[in-house]
Amino acid sequence: MLLDEGHPAAALAQCSAVLAQDGANAEALALLSTLTSHLRGDPVSPGREETAQGKETAEGKEATRGRETARDKEATGAEKTPNTGFDWRAAEKEVAGIVEPALIEGPGADHETERPDVTLADVGGLEDVKRRLEMAFLLPMRNPEMRRLYGRSLPGGLLLYGPPGCGKTFVARAVAGELGARFHAVALDDVLDVWTGASERNLHEMFEIARRNAPCVLFFDEIDALGQKRAQLRSNAAMRGVVNQLLTEMDSVKSENDGVFVLGATNHPWDVDTGLLRPGRFDRLLLVAPPDAAARDSILRYHLRGRPLEGIEMARLVERSEHFSGADLAHLCDTAAEQAMWDSVRTGRARPIRMMDFERAFEEVKPSSGPWLQDARNVVMFANSAGKFDELLAYLRQRGMA
């Protein structure tokens, strides 16, 4: 289609992309031959020149070829002369501009670090989480003299895990705020690339950005996708390369730059490669469970701020929302507001949000962490021989699930 529309260089790029994945693709090889003949000015097979009105005349073909040559000259500024072959330099420029701009700009070029204005004091409840963060991660980093006195090495990375929507990203931002460090969040699409070797290069650049902005907290969300168990990737050499690159970068952070602190978050820590969980890498796992009563109170008040309220019994809402995640609580408040808004529109009189709106909202919104907790129970009951998930086991026992 690109060739028919007069874009031979772009067609060549697409053809090359197919052959990079499947070098024996017969259709791509045949098209490559056609493209090469076309770009050299050789006669093209009649099937390519047919239109709805029939075949072009010889004069029409020559005119079309002349227009394509003029357009190529105008777009690239490169002069093509007879018998010199295809202008590969001009084609490379066109391919770079159309197919892969990220490699021209450089990975991470449009990613900037930020300096969070939140600290652990802004995290409602979760006292056990904050205490463990302080003892195992923050204290040795903020007190180098004490660290040297007790021979305490700098901690490796910290892996936050738990059900979806329970505030793992917010806790990571609060850690950066506590350290007075910059914060650089890395999502899955910041790293993964269809081009061979590009994902590893992107991952390395994420660490380089953190080193240039040290002290910096480098935060990997969905780390199980980037650091999946290599035993599950036997048929996926590209992803195995990403895992190996992540292992290498984690080691280099500790040896090359003390100002880069690596945090990860995952809903499925049991899918993370064991090499990432050894000492010196993500050597500490911290459960971020559904919010406790104090945290639920704080989250509910946050999401109700600025809204018209009347007769809200906060203690009752906190009690009824046990096992709700932070995202569930936000949805609960939005649903109650929808109920009040709908009633106001129906009656023609605006009214505040009341407890009856929350009663209706509780009928619609249910805790979303149930399926995750069931999966977690299966793991800790049958695959926790190394004791990595003892904290999760204690939590499940507290809830009567183990």
What pLDDT digit, counting tens, does each position of 360-386 carry?
999 999 999 989 999 999 988 888 877
Q: Using an 8 Å Cβ cutoff, are 352 and 309 in contact?
A: yes
Q: Which two tokens stand for residue 165?
A: 């929507």
Residue 154 has pLDDT above 70, yes or no: no
Cα–Cα distance list, 396 to 35, 272, 376, 389, 391 (Å): 63, 21, 9, 11, 9
The string of DSSP letters for 272-320 reads: B-GGGGSTTSEEEEEE-PSP-HHHHHHHHHHHHTTS-B-S--HHHHHHH
- Identify how many contiguous H helices and E strands the chain contains and give both numbers: 20, 7
According to DSSP, residue 114 is labeled: B
Grade residue 258 by pLDDT with cuts at 50, 70 and 90. Answer: low
CATH 3.40.50.300 placement within the chain: 120-287
Predicted confidence at residue 41, as pLDDT, reads 61
Statement: the pTM of the whole predicted model exceeds 0.75: no
Q: Look at residue 79 in the predicted model and tell me its pLDDT.
A: 43
pLDDT per residue over 291-329, tens digit each? 989 899 999 999 999 999 999 999 999 999 999 999 999
Q: Are 336 and 311 in contact (CB under 8 A)?
A: no
Token pair 């480098």 is at which residue? 218
The predicted structure's pLDDT at residue 238: 79
Q: Which CATH superfamily is domain 120-287 in?
A: P-loop containing nucleotide triphosphate hydrolases (3.40.50.300)
- Does the pLDDT at position 100 exceed 70? no
What is residue 356's predicted lDDT score, i.e. its pLDDT?
96
Instruction: Specify the pLDDT at position 83.
Output: 44
Which pLDDT belongs to residue 36? 64
Domain with CATH 1.10.8.60 in the chain: 293-364
Four-way CATH pick for 293-364: 1.10.8.60, 3.10.310.40, 3.40.50.2300, 3.40.50.720: 1.10.8.60
